[in-house]
């Protein structure tokens, strides 16, 4: 079974006012999590700055959806950055399954 990945949006930073708009999201604080469905999990976190797109319709803060914010995040980060995150998560899970270092009991 392949690993599954999930975004967790932890916090949104906003500019109180930008032009005639209020509470404009400027930074997304995120976590990217993965699981193999067998009890092994990976987790990375970070933040992504985003800019208001003057050509896109503006959604008031209290009407934002998780899917919309995830769309901004994935668009701003780009596919290669997300692939690199997923590879790091895959490695975390692989290292749980087959640890790269062991600490056996001392032989005496």
Each residue of 45-73: pLDDT tens digit? Answer: 999 999 998 898 999 999 999 999 999 99
Q: How far is CA 18 from CA 21, 35, 83, 89, in A?
A: 5, 39, 33, 36
Residue that has been written with the tokens 């509470």 in this structure: 23
**E-state strands within the chain:** 4-18, 21-35, 41-49
Consecutive H or E run containing 76: helix 66-77
Confidence of residue 15 (pLDDT cuts 50, 70, 90): very high
Q: Note the pLDDT of residue 54.
A: 86
Say what percent of the chain tops pLDDT 70: 99
């Amino acid at each position: 079974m392949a690993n599954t990945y999930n975004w967790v949006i932890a916090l949104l930073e906003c500019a109180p006012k930008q032009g005639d708009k209020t509470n404009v999201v400027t930074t997304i604080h995120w976590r990217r999590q993965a699981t193999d469905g067998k009890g092994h999990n990976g987790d990375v976190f970070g933040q992504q700055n985003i800019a208001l797109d003057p050509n896109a319709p503006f959604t008031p803060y209290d009407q934002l959806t998780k899917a919309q914010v995830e769309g901004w995040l994935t668009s701003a980060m780009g596919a290669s950055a997300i692939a690199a995150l997923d590879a790091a998560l895959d490695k975390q899970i692989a290292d749980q399954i087959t640890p790269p270092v062991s600490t056996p009991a001392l032989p005496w």
